[in-house]
Amino acid sequence: MDSKSKIFSYRGGMYLLLAILITTLIGGFIIYHFSLLSQIKSINYIDEGIFFAIIGVAGVSIVIALLLAVRMSRNLRSLDRAVAAMENGADIESMPQFADDELGDIARHIIALYGRLREATNDIQREHDNALHEQQEKLRIKRQLTNNINHELKTPVAAIQGYLETMTTAKDMTEEERDAFIAKCYAHCQRLTQLLNDVSTITRLEDGSSRIERESVDLRALVDEIASDVALLSDDKRMRVNVDLPAPMQVLGNSTLLMSILKNLTDNAIAYSGGRDIYIRCIDESPTMYTISFADNGIGVDGDHINHIFERFYRIDKGRSRKLGGTGLGLSIVKNAVLFHGGDIKVANRKIGGLEFTFTLPKA
């Protein structure tokens, strides 16, 4: 028997009991009254008054009981509508109102429990949808990364194959030509090695971030090491590295990834900025984080490209990037490494020229 049938059975039973009670009282009164008249010759008017008073009280009690039954029936009908609404997944706001009594309190408690259950169910569904979306996005990114890697591998592999075939078939090559081909093969092998290293770093950040160790690292020492390496470059590549950081500057992180952040930003400035200076400064400090600026005084980046430079394999000038040996993953590694450390990173063109990266890192 469903809830609606139970409600109507309960209500019908109440009305049946009331009808039996009323019939019994009226019938009892008639039988008693006429039997009393037949047995006694004179009626005690006081006793008869008491009798009618009792009948009157009984009648008032019946009326009150009937009103209470009607009110209870109304609450039960409202509760039946509420249950039907719950079965259809209705909102709390659409639930009927209940009288301010015990049954109404019970109904309101039931509706409140339904509301909490509905909210918990919605939260679980949202978490499931978010997890599913995140998983699908990871699969999409991995497919895209795989496709891009295949594309990036084709160029150096094809070049190496072409040089080797030429060296194998051309019997009249001079030693100078052969040495030049070998040098080009070596350069492409270096590019392949760099690409594989960058892919390994990206994969490590995405799939094994929980296994990457963190410790207290002196960021100023890493910056000084980068500055020393830049100072040893040839004149056409060398840039002045201007450092304004506290010494020591202890951050909580992985030294390899922190060095990767600094090196990729430096290589990017040397290869593409066209400037002569690099500025590395601590521009803000909170109890838990350092805010660091890495800027150059070069040509900057066009507005159409600046929002995409953290994307994998995104190149502003594809031909120039490949010529300079870039893999297209450097700035993507920078962003992922900063996010791994719990910071964030932004990029913007400087008003006085050049590009500025602003990122945060946690204090040790």
Query: pLDDT tens-digit profile of 12-38?
Result: 555 556 666 666 666 666 666 655 555
Token duo for residue 315: 């190149």
Nearest of 144, 136, 83, 72 to residue 111 by alpha carbon? 83
Bond preceding residue 248 cis, omega within 30 of 0: yes
Amino acid identity of residue 180, one-letter, is A
Q: Listing from the earlier edge strand, what are the strands of the sheet with 277-285? A: 240-244, 277-285, 289-296, 355-362, 345-349
In this prediction, residue 282 carries a pLDDT of: 93
3-class SS of residue 52: helix
In this prediction, residue 301 carries a pLDDT of: 87
Instruction: For the chain, give the number of residues.
Output: 364
Token duo for residue 299: 């040509």
Torsion 86-91-92-95 (CA) sign: negative
Q: Which alpha helices (H) appear in the chain, and where do they start and end?
A: 3-39, 45-87, 102-169, 175-207, 219-231, 255-268, 303-306, 318-323, 330-340
In this prediction, residue 99 carries a pLDDT of: 64
Contacts (Cβ under 8 Å, ≥6 apart) of 14: 69, 72, 73
> pLDDT under 50 in the chain at which residues?
1-10, 41-42, 319-323
**How would DSSP label each residue in 219-279?**
HHHHHHHHHHHHHTS-TTT--EEEEE--SS-EEEE-HHHHHHHHHHHHHHIIIII--SEEE
Residue written as tokens 């492409």?
Answer: 188
In this prediction, residue 7 carries a pLDDT of: 44
**How would DSSP label each residue in 63-85?**
HHHHHHHHHHHHHHHHHHHHHHH
The CA–CA distances, whole Å, from 276 to 222, 265, 287, 309, 347 equal: 21, 14, 34, 21, 19
The CA–CA distances, whole Å, from 296 to 25, 146, 212, 277 equal: 103, 33, 31, 6
Q: What value, to the nearest 5°, has the Cα angle with vertex 96 and ends 93 and 101?
A: 120
In this prediction, residue 119 carries a pLDDT of: 82
In this prediction, residue 266 carries a pLDDT of: 92
